[in-house]
Chains A and B, each alone.
Chain A
Amino acid sequence: MDVSSLVILGAVCLAFTYAAIKKVDIVGSFTKGAGENLKVAAGLLPTLVLLMLAITMMRSSGILDVIVGLIRPAAEKIGFPAECLPLAILRPISGSGAIALLDDVLNKFGADSFAGRTASVLAASSETTFYTVAVYFAAVKAKKPQKAIIAALAGDLTAFLTAALAVRLFFGAG
């Protein structure tokens, strides 16, 4: 029995029973939420096709290996798997690009490999920094997002440096 399945089952039970106690229209409410997210998923598709085109072309032509090869020595020195480098670079810039690259790593090296786990942790514990900053600052008159960008990128760098470390501590080098 692992902790995460307990968390999920607990959350699901709590959501349903509390809704029942409060006499919420369970079917209507659930299907509305599910439908909205399905629309969001469908909306991802056109961009995803475009990004997948560029990413699979880069990977299959071998040019990505050339780029990764340039950064590899530094990454290996700190114990970061080179397979996850493209993802680490793209993560703050493009959300759907990161999804496509994570899928690539998971299918190529296996979801339960060291690289697969590190990529999962990295993708799940960071955000699309530039998109967030751009959207949020577009809403207000204040015009100096530099501090926010620097601080957020420092957070991304930390996630990059600690993801492989955390996986190694928790699962071994695998």
Chain B
Amino acid sequence: MGYLLCFLIFSSSVYSLISGTSQACSDAVTECGANALKLVITLGGGMAVWGGIVNLLNDSGLTEKLTYSLKILVSKIFNQLNKNGEALRAICLNLTANLFGLGNAATPLGIDAMRKIEKELGESETTPKSMTLFVVMNACSMQIIPTTVAAMRSAAGSASPMDILPCVLGVSAVSLAVAVTVAEVLEFGC
């Protein structure tokens, strides 16, 4: 990452000298800090509101209830795992956090789920199918309400920041379906 950034900054500087945009490029250096700070302030505001709401959901036990209904579906996808096992419950919690757009809660829960899948199926160098599927689902977006993007859109003056919601849900669903199908095919083929 460091070398890539170094390369990008160096090549941009050299190119700006060649193409005569060095003034704009040096302005970028002085202004980028303030721009980053502005972005974090608007972003942090939206994140704080949703963090509060989701914590209410967690503390009232509603998250646990939503997890319960998810379990039936999830146990069909991860048919390698015990229906009432700890691994499946951990997967459900992680997926719920993902659905609510809690990226930062989802990651620790997901790591926990990976460990529990390993514990249930036994340590091995080869990756079990449930692990591949689980990582693939996490590497695709499953968020129902795109809070971060909506906060950024409203900061940029959108008339209706959430109007992209149907498109986001459609595109997420299609790309998740493709990713899971590819994972299934790879498992079957190799």
The residues of A with any CB-CB pair to B shorter than 8 Å are: 2-5, 7-8, 11-12, 14-16, 18-19, 21-22, 24-26, 29-38, 40-42, 44-45, 48-54, 56-63, 66, 99-100, 102-103, 106-107, 110-112, 116-117, 120-127, 129, 132-133, 135-137, 139-145, 147-148, 150-152, 154-156, 158-159, 162-163, 166-167, 170-171
Q: Is the CB of A62 within 8 A of B111?
A: no
Q: A132-B139, A152-B179 are in contact. Are A140 and B145 (CB under 8 A)?
A: no
Chain B residues in 8 Å Cβ range of A16 = 53, 56
- B124-165: CB near A (< 8 Å → 1, else 0) gives 111110011011101111011110110011111111111111
Q: A63-B15, A121-B164 are in contact. Are A140 and B115 (CB under 8 A)?
A: yes
Q: B70 at interface (Cβ–Cβ under 8 A)?
A: no
Q: B73 at interface (Cβ–Cβ under 8 A)?
A: no
Q: Is the CB of A156 within 8 A of B175?
A: yes
A61-B19, A147-B183 known; 18 other A-B pairs, CB under 8 Å?
A7-B145, A34-B51, A37-B51, A37-B104, A44-B40, A53-B28, A60-B12, A60-B24, A61-B25, A62-B16, A121-B164, A124-B148, A125-B175, A127-B140, A132-B139, A140-B114, A147-B132, A150-B186
Q: Is the CB of A56 within 8 A of B126?
A: no
A-B contact count (CB 8 A): 338
- The A contact surface, by secondary structure, is helix
Chain B residues in 8 Å Cβ range of A35 = 48, 51
- The B contact surface, by secondary structure, is helix
Q: A62-B16, A155-B140 are in contact. Are A123 and B53 (CB under 8 A)?
A: no
Q: Sort chain B's interface into a size bin.
A: 35 or more
Q: Is the CB of A11 within 8 A of B111?
A: no
A170 to B126, CA, bound (A): 44
Q: B82 at interface (Cβ–Cβ under 8 A)?
A: no
- B91-117: CB near A (< 8 Å → 1, else 0) gives 000000000000010010011001101
Q: Is the CB of B36 within 8 A of A48?
A: yes
One of A29, A50, A100 near B5 (C-beta < 8 A): A50
A54 to B153, CA, bound (A): 22
